[in-house]
Amino acid sequence: MLLEVRDLRVEFRTREGVAHAVNGVTYQVDAGETLAVLGESGSGKSVTAQAVMGILDMPPGRITGGEILFRGQDLLKLKEDERRRIRGAEMAMIFQDALSALNPVLTVGDQLAEMFVVHRGTSRKDARARAVELMDRVRIPAAAQRVRDYPHQFSGGMRQRIMIAMALALEPALVIADEPTTALDVTVQAQVMDLLAELRREYRMGLVLITHDLGVVADVADRIAVMYAGRIVESAPVHDLYKAPAHPYTRGLLDSIPRLDLKGRELYAIKGLPPSLTRIPPGCAFHPRCPMARDVCRTDPPPLYEVDQRRGSACHFWRECLDG
Amino acid sequence: MADTTKAGEPTDATPNVSGVQVVEAESEEQAVAALDEPVERGEPILQVRNLVKHFPLTQGILIKRQVGAVKAVDGISFDLYQGETLGIVGESGCGKSTVAKLLMNLERATAGEIFYKGQDITKLSGRALKAVRRNIQMIFQDPYTSLNPRMTVGDIIGEPFDIHPEVAPKGDRRRRVQELLDVVGLNPEYINRYPHQFSGGQRQRIGIARGLALNPEVIICDEPVSALDVSVQAQVINLMERLQDEFNLSYIFIAHDLSIVRHISDRVGVMYLGRMAEIGTDEQIYEHPTHPYTQALLSAVPVPDPDAREHRERIILTGDVPSPANPPSGCRFRTRCWKAQDKCAEETPLLAIPERFKSSDSPAAHESACHFAEEKDVVHAA
C-alpha cells in the first residue's frame, strides 16, 4: 500500500473554541490508483491532505491522533528534515489557485529548476533544460521561450499546467490534487484533467483528488471517499457508489444533481446546513439533516460498517439506504 | 449572402429594432405610466438589440490616450419574455457579467439599445429611469461581499425603500421586511442580526429578499449559487423557482454550471468572447446544438455517471480563449474551432437560423452564429 491514513485526528484552536476538523479519517491509496475525496467546504478534506503533506499550520492546527503511513513508514514520527526530503520528491501537491501557489517574483523556469537543484543537486544549467522539457511535457506552447516568463503572464489553464509540471518534476509516487480545476473554465478543465490522467497513467502514480464535484469524480476516479464533518461517511469503488449509495448523505448529494427527467420539478435538497466544526452534533454528525435518522443516530456515532469487502458506510441503517 | 457581413464592419451599422414595439413617450408622466403597464405572460418584456460595451484601454498618466478597447460585449441581441427564465452561459471573460451590468444600467452601453416594455432604458433619465430601476433588480454571486457587514439584515432589505418610499410607507417597513424574510425562508425574528451571523446559503436568501423588496418584474441573477455548497445550491434554486411562480417574475440567469442552467431555464443563450454564439430553448441547445462551441462546451462538462466514461465523445478544445482586447477577425471562435475555414476569418457569421434548417421544423432550426452549423448530439453520446 502506497499511502494509508489511519484514524487521523486534527483540531484547530479558534476564538470560538476547538474546531474538530478531522475526526478519525481512514483511507488508503495504492500505486496507480485514483482516490477521490469528496466533501463540502469544512468537511476536512483539505486539512487531511495538508496533514499528509506535512504542511498543516501548527499552531493553530494540532494533530491529536492517528497515523499516516507512506510505504509503511509513519510520517508523523519523522523529523522535519526527513519529511522535507520526502515532500516534493516522493509526494507532491497540486493546489487549487495556481496564481497564489506560484511565486510571483520568480520566473516559472526558476521555480521548476529549483526542484532539481534542491532535491537532486543538478547544476543550474541542466536544471533549466529539465524545466523546458517539463513545460513541453505538460504541453505549454513555445516552452523554450516561455520558461523566462512570470506566473502572471500565463492564463489560468497554463498556470495550472505549470503547477502540474512542478508537482510531477521529480516523478513522485503520490500526488495530492486539491480542487485542481475548480478555478478553471469547463473547456480548460477538461484539458487539464485529461493531462493529469495521462501523466498519472504514464508514471503509475497514486493520485488523491480532492473535489466537491460529483461530475469530476465520475470522470476520473477509481474509488471515492465521501467526507462529512471531518469523517469518512462512505468509501466505495466509484461505479458501486453512483449505482447505489450506502449513506444518506451521499444519496442526498446524488439526488440533488439536476436531472433531465426531473426538469420543472423541485430539486431534491438536503435540508439544513453543514454543522459548525466547534459544535458537531453528538451521535451521527449528519442526523439533524438526515431523512432516515432515528433515536440511535442521536446518541451513538456509527462506525464505518463493512458493506462488502471493498466498501464501507458510516450509517447505522446502511442496508436500508442501499435498498433505496 | 443575406446573413453575413464583411469582417471588420460593425454589426450595428443597420439600426435593428426588429420585433420591438417602440413606445414613444411624449412626457415623463407618460413614460412612467407606460413602464407601470403590466406585460402579458409570454410577451417580450426586455429586448436587447446590438448591445455593445467597449472598455477603453489607455496609456499615459497625465495625458491619457486610448490605445485600444476591451470588447467585452460586442453586438448582442436577445429577448426576454414575461414569466420565463433565460439562461446565459459562457466561460469567464465572455461578457456575461457585463451584460448583467448593462441591463441594470450600472454601465453605460457603448452602442445598442435595451428596450424595457418598448422604451430604450439606455436613453431614459429622471423619474422614468428610477421607475425602471425599481422594476429590474439583481441578485449577486458572492453573498459575502454583496451585503454590508455593518448593517443589520433589516436595514439591508429595507434600504431600497429609502429610495422608493412609495413602495412601503415608513411605518410599514418593519412589517414588510419581516414578510420578505418569511418569504425567503428565514426566521422574521432575525431582522436585527448582522450578515456574519448567517451561513452562505442564508446570506444568499437575504440578497434575494433585498432583490424582491420593490416588487420587481425582472431579476438579473449573476451566478447566484456558484459560491454555495452543493447541498445548499438545490435549496436556493428551489426557492428561486417558487418565487418566480409566486410573484410572476422574469429571470435572466447567468451561470457557468450548465446542468443548473438547464434545470431552471426555458431558453438558453451561449456566449463566447462578447458575442452570442447560439440561442434557443433548453431542448434545442442541449439536445440539438448546432454551434461548434456549444458542442464543445457541452461535451466538456463532467457527467456524474461513471458508466458514461467509456462511451462518451469528448471534444477537447485546444488553446485558450483569445483576449477580448484583440479578438480574432470574423468568427470569434475560429481560432479554437476544428471546422474553421478561410470564410470564418473573412465573414462574421450572424446570429440567425441557419439556411439549411430554415424550412425544417426540426429542433436544429434555432439561431446559431456559425457558417457551418450542423447538428451534433453531444449530450446523448453520454
Q: What is the CATH number of the domain that holds A150?
A: 3.40.50.300
Interface contact B314-A257, CB threshold 8 A: no
Choose among B282, B303, B307: nearest Cβ to A215. Answer: B303
Task: Please list every residue in chain B whose beta carbon sits closer than 8 Å to the beta carbon of residue A212.
Answer: 229-230
Question: Is residue B173's pLDDT more than 70?
Answer: yes
Q: Are residues A262 and A130 in the same domain?
A: no
Pairing of strands B218-222, B250-254: parallel
Q: Does B262 touch chain A (CB under 8 A)?
A: yes
Last residue of a domain, one of A209, A228, A247: A228
Interface contact B297-A186, CB threshold 8 A: yes
Nearest-neighbour CA in chain A from B307: distance (Å):
7
pLDDT of residue B9: 43
- Is residue B252 within 8 A of residue B103, CB to CB? The reply is yes
Q: What whole-number distance in Å separates Cα of residue A96 and Cα of residue A155? A: 14
Q: Are residues A306 and A220 in the same domain?
A: no
Q: Are residues A247 and A105 in the same domain?
A: no
Interface contact A186-B258, CB threshold 8 A: yes
Interface contact A191-B316, CB threshold 8 A: yes
CA A178 vs. chain centroid, Å, equals 5
Q: What whole-number distance in Å separates Cα of residue B34 and Cα of residue B14? A: 27
Question: Is residue B220's pLDDT more than 90?
Answer: yes
Interface contact B229-A218, CB threshold 8 A: no
Pairing of strands B275-281, A174-178: unpaired
Q: Are residues A69 and A115 in the same domain?
A: yes
Interface contact A219-B231, CB threshold 8 A: no
Note the helical H segments in chain A: 45-53, 80-86, 98-101, 108-120, 124-137, 143-146, 156-168, 186-203, 214-220, 238-243, 248-255, 295-299, 318-323
* Residues 6+ away with beta carbon under 8 Å from A258: A267, B237, B259, B260, B262, B263
Question: Is residue B288's pLDDT more than 70?
Answer: yes
Between residues B196 and B251, the one the model is more confident about: B251
Q: Does B317 touch chain A (CB under 8 A)?
A: yes
Question: Is residue B368's pLDDT more than 80?
Answer: yes
Nearest-neighbour CA in chain B from A46: distance (Å):
15
Domain ranges of chain B: 42-57+69-265, 290-382
Over residues A82-102, the pLDDT tens digits come to 888 888 889 999 988 877 888
Q: Are residues A241 and A255 in the same domain?
A: yes
Q: What whole-number distance in Å separates Cα of residue B244 and Cα of residue B250? A: 7
Question: Is residue B367's pLDDT more than 60?
Answer: yes
Question: Is residue A75's pLDDT more than 60?
Answer: yes
Q: Are residues A131 and A187 in the same domain?
A: yes
Between residues B323 and B332, the one the model is more confident about: B332
Task: Please list every residue in chain B whose beta carbon sits closer than 8 Å to the beta carbon of residue A40.
Answer: 229-231
Over residues A265-281, the pLDDT tens digits come to 788 888 888 888 888 99
Q: Does B231 touch chain A (CB under 8 A)?
A: yes
Q: Are residues A174 and A219 in the same domain?
A: yes
Q: Are residues A206 and A264 in the same domain?
A: no
* Residues 6+ away with beta carbon under 8 Å from A232: A25, A26, A27, A225, A226, A304, A312, A314
Range of the structural domain that residue A283 is part of: 231-323
Task: Please list every residue in chain B whose beta carbon sits closer than 8 Å to the beta carbon of residue A186.
Answer: 91, 256, 258, 297, 300-301
pLDDT of residue B1: 39
Model confidence band, residue A150 (pLDDT cutoffs 50, 70, 90): very high
Nearest-neighbour CA in chain A from B236: distance (Å):
9
Over residues B132-155, the pLDDT tens digits come to 999 999 998 888 888 999 999 999
- At B271, give phi and psi (nearest 5°): -105, 145
Pairing of strands A61-70, A73-74: antiparallel
Last residue of a domain, one of A199, A228, A257: A228
Write the CA distances from B295 to B73, B75, B132, B360, integer angstroms. Answer: 22, 22, 37, 21
Interface contact B234-A273, CB threshold 8 A: no
Question: Mean of the pLDDT values across residues B49-61?
Answer: 89
Last residue of a domain, one of A174, A208, A228: A228
Which of A23-27, B52-56, B77-81, B373-377 comes out lowest in average pLDDT? B373-377
Over residues A208-261, the pLDDT tens digits come to 999 988 888 988 899 999 999 999 999 999 999 999 999 999 999 998 888 776
Interface contact A274-B231, CB threshold 8 A: yes
Q: How many domains does chain A have?
A: 2
Interface contact B234-A256, CB threshold 8 A: yes
pLDDT of residue A169: 87
Choose among A40, A190, A221: nearest Cβ to B231. Answer: A40
Model confidence band, residue A299 (pLDDT cutoffs 50, 70, 90): very high
Q: Please state the ipTM of this predicted complex.
A: 0.79
Task: Please list every residue in chain B whose beta carbon sits closer than 8 Å to the beta carbon of residue A155.
Answer: 320
The CATH number of the domain covering residues in B42-57+69-265: 3.40.50.300
pLDDT of residue A34: 94
**Residue (of B194, B220, B221) closest to B206 by Cα position:** B194
Q: Are residues A169 and A57 in the same domain?
A: yes
Interface contact B262-A189, CB threshold 8 A: no
Give residue for cell 410607507: B169
Torsion of CA B205, B209, B211, B217, to 10 degrees: 110
Task: Please list every residue in chain A whose beta carbon sits closer than 8 Å to the beta carbon of residue B317.
Answer: 187, 190-191
pLDDT of residue B67: 84
Model confidence band, residue B341 (pLDDT cutoffs 50, 70, 90): very high
Q: What whole-number distance in Å separates Cα of residue B100 and Cα of residue B51? A: 12
Q: Are residues A171 and A255 in the same domain?
A: no
- Is residue B320 within 8 A of residue A141, CB to CB? The reply is no
- Is residue B288 within 8 A of residue B358, CB to CB? The reply is no
pLDDT of residue B250: 95
pLDDT of residue B380: 53
Q: What whole-number distance in Å separates Cα of residue B366 and Cα of residue A48? A: 49
Q: Are residues A186 and A249 in the same domain?
A: no
Question: Is residue B99's pLDDT more than 90?
Answer: yes
Task: Please list every residue in chain A whose beta carbon sits closer than 8 Å to the beta carbon of residue B297.
Answer: 186-187
Q: Are residues A35 and A143 in the same domain?
A: yes
Interface test with A, best of B186, B228, B305 (most A CBs within 10 A): B305
Choose among B230, B301, B317: nearest Cβ to A253. Answer: B230
